[in-house]
Copies of this chain bind each other. A is one copy, B any other.
Amino acid sequence: MTPEDRFVDRLREAITGSDDLVVGPGDDAAVFRSEGLLVVTTDTLVERVDFLTGEDRARLGRRAMSVALSDLAAMGAWPAFALLTIGFPETSAEDLPLEIAVAAAGRAREFGAVLAGGDLTRADQTFVSVAVWGRPTGKPIRRTGAKAGDAVFLSGWPGEASAGLALARALAGLPRVASGTPWAPEELAAPDSTRLLAAYREPEPRLALGRALGSGGLATAAIDVSDGLGMDAARLARASAVRLVIESDSLPLSPALRSFAGVAGVDPVETALGGGDDYELLFSVSPAHAGRFADPPADWGVEVRRIGRVEPGDGVFLEGEEGLRPVGNRGFDHFGGPR
């Protein structure tokens, strides 16, 4: 038996199955039973691009699954099964992929989804790629349906994850980015540090919110904010052929983010608009449904706030005391954006 075969054996012991999973890990392919529409997506975390060298393995596995699940949340879908690909250096410990896989499977299991299979490969840097399939809870929510007159809502606190990454980099002794002045992570109060690091390391896929939007037909369009609020807002605006106006006063800036911005000498608004890794949902709501968000139910698991409106036109604008200014393509582009 090869180490790879041992891996599959140990993985099968560690994970659970499902009635719909006819063939699980360990064959050439998995076999799954399904009827109707399926929603499918894939996302990848790469060492030194999406996570820092030395990241805790279980946290990495959970995070890789969470960021893929976040895409399903944005479509109003609920996950059913996933495939996992792990690339890792030859020098890695044999249990590295197993720890990542067990954690990823456990994360999926929290939402009733199962790991159906995957692939292992050698690589110079560790990467974890997840493909996940799920079922729409209503009509799948696209990026294309926002209409002038809609309100724009956002879950969570944009920029916290980006601040958490800056903090994690500083704690790891890596060069500071996005700051002109030197600062030390110790300058930040411990509760703020903890909160920001968790926002980066342990993103929560907004599946319950997505299900509420999908099953209730509440959103006209939605997108998962992964590359920065500004950039993903621009994507939604472009797909829907509308203008998004973010009202500066309504942009939620958490106390922890404000503290970080003070310490690091950055503008919290810029961090909220340009930071990545939020994995929150940005969505548009018709006037008929906007009232439903005044007092969101606790089982959505996250704060949801109106941050702006949809207008005729194009692009994304921030509306402040001096009027409208274009937000542009702030954020992270996978062809080589800032980080």
Chain A interface residues (CB < 8 Å from chain B): 1-5, 7, 22-23, 26-44, 46, 48-50, 71-72, 74-75, 77, 81, 83, 85, 87, 90, 94, 116-125, 127, 129, 131, 133, 136, 140, 142-144, 222-224, 231, 235, 238-239, 329, 333-337
Check B29–A72 contact: CB distance below 8 A. Answer: yes
Q: In the complex, which residues of chain B have a beta carbon less than 8 angstroms from the beta carbon of A116?
A: 40
Check A336–B34 contact: CB distance below 8 A. Answer: no
Q: How far is B33's CA from A1's CA once the two chains are assembled, in angstroms?
A: 39
Check A123–B131 contact: CB distance below 8 A. Answer: no
Check A118–B42 contact: CB distance below 8 A. Answer: yes
Q: In the complex, which residues of chain B have a beta carbon less than 8 angstroms from the beta carbon of A48?
A: 124
The 6 closest A-B pairs by CB, nearest first: A29-B41, A3-B335, A131-B131, A28-B74, A2-B333, A120-B334
Q: How far is B74's CA from A300's CA once the two chains are assembled, in angstroms?
A: 43
Known contacts A32-B38, A40-B116, A143-B28; A333 and B3 CB within 8 A of each other: yes
A133 to chain B, nearest CB (A): 7
Q: How far is B333's CA from A335's CA once the two chains are assembled, in angstroms?
A: 32
Q: Taking CB as reference atom, which chain B residue is nearest A45?
A: B121
Check B7–A335 contact: CB distance below 8 A. Answer: yes
Q: How far is B75's CA from A55's CA once the two chains are assembled, in angstroms?
A: 36
Q: Report the copy number of this chain in the oligomer.
A: 2
Check A122–B329 contact: CB distance below 8 A. Answer: no
Q: In the complex, which residues of chain B have a beta carbon less than 8 angstroms from the beta carbon of A329?
A: 1-2
Please name 23 pairs of A and B residues whose Cβ atoms are closer than 8 Å in the assembled complex, sorted by A.
A1-B238, A5-B238, A26-B143, A27-B144, A27-B239, A28-B41, A28-B71, A28-B75, A29-B74, A29-B77, A30-B39, A32-B39, A34-B34, A34-B35, A34-B37, A34-B38, A42-B83, A43-B119, A44-B87, A44-B119, A87-B127, A122-B335, A123-B127
Q: How far is B75's CA from A320's CA once the two chains are assembled, in angstroms?
A: 59
Q: How far is B135's CA from A33's CA once the two chains are assembled, in angstroms?
A: 10
Q: Taking CB as reference atom, which chain B residue is nearest A96?
A: B335
Check B223–A85 contact: CB distance below 8 A. Answer: no
Q: Taking CB as reference atom, which chain B residue is nearest A144?
A: B27
Q: In the complex, which residues of chain B have a beta carbon less than 8 angstroms from the beta carbon of A3?
A: 333, 335-336
Q: In the complex, which residues of chain B have a beta carbon less than 8 angstroms from the beta carbon of A7?
A: 335
Check B33–A37 contact: CB distance below 8 A. Answer: yes
